[in-house]
Amino acid sequence: MIDIQYSPEVAEARAEGRPLVALESTIITHGMPFPQNVETARRVEAEIRAHGAVPATIAVLEGRLHVGLTDNQLDRLGQARDVAKLSRADFAACLARGGDGATTVAATMIAARLAGIEVFATGGIGGVHRGAEDSFDISADLHELAKTPVTVVAAGAKAILDLPKTFEVLETLGVPVIAYGQDMLPAFWSATSDMPAPLRMDSAAAIAAAARMRAAMGLDSGQLVANPIPAEAEIPAEELRPVIEQALAEAEAQGIAAKAVTPFLLGRILELTGGRSLESNIALVLNNARLGAAIAVELGKTRS
């Protein structure tokens, strides 16, 4: 078995059987600039605690898998440079080589399963990139959702992606996509879209019950809970569309590819929106943390 380093807070929660919510670390190293990244990480952790669960931020530090970070570790990660962006393909290699790595959605799901954590709250999942019919650029997050039994709470897929193709792939892979409290899927910075949700649930208890039923049926995939950004924090899709198109065009012109695409696009959209995208990103992550905590609490009530 892999040696997992639990923070004191997470170790205590595990010993007491308290609900845990996993958090990724790529949002810290690749998703936001310093110091907003560390400030936001602490706010997200505080939000989870305020709603009855315990946060477990996941990262690889000096070749050791950490589930839960201390304040010093979080500060170090938030200011680190050249931190690997880990997914299923390179997670084990980073551990074996003694490196530092931040976990994507896929890697966080793997680590959460290893640590026995059933819920993971994030910003948005990866998916099918625009132009994937030529580049074949499809995030490993989608296949991880199909094989790892963790409930992932996100504001849908990142809006820079080809959203219809992303949700088509999830349907093909048999991943339940549940819109929380509305009939249409959210689109990350935008609370709604023109895509009907395959499933709708209106309570954390219903989402927890669905997870329990899937486990009882021996269905090993996770489930994606698409939680809309609060209306007061959203950027309407029609306003974002030209901004995203400009950022995509610049990425193509500069030859940005593979793992560098998403950080480049998010950074450029931050500039083009005058910082509004970062404010919206923070709001949606906090919102997902609240729902993730509520689901974890409900799952804790039914844990055998």
Task: Enumerate the known binding-site residues.
Answer: 85, 105, 137, 139-141
Give me the torsion for CA of 180, 182, 185, 189, rounded to 10°: -80
Alpha helix stretches (DSSP H) within the chain: 8-16, 26, 36-50, 71-79, 88-97, 105-115, 132-135, 140-147, 163-172, 204-216, 237-253, 261-272, 276-302
Residue positions in the annotated binding site for Mn(2+)? Answer: 137
Alpha helices in 203-236 (DSSP H): 204-216
Torsion of CA 189, 192, 196, 202, to 10 degrees: 100
Nearest to 294 by CA among 173, 119, 133: 119
Helices 88-97 + 105-115 axis angle, to 10: 70
* Residue 74 contacts residue 42 (beta carbons within 8 Å): yes
Residue with tokens 């201390």: 70
Q: Which residues contact 222 (CB under 8 A, 6 or more apart)?
A: 109, 144, 145, 146, 148, 149, 150, 151, 152, 175
Q: Which residue has the tokens 């996100």?
A: 154
Contacts of 49 (CB under 8 A, 6+ apart): 55
Which residues are catalytically annotated? Answer: 24, 158
Extract the annotated binding site for substrate: 85, 105, 139-141
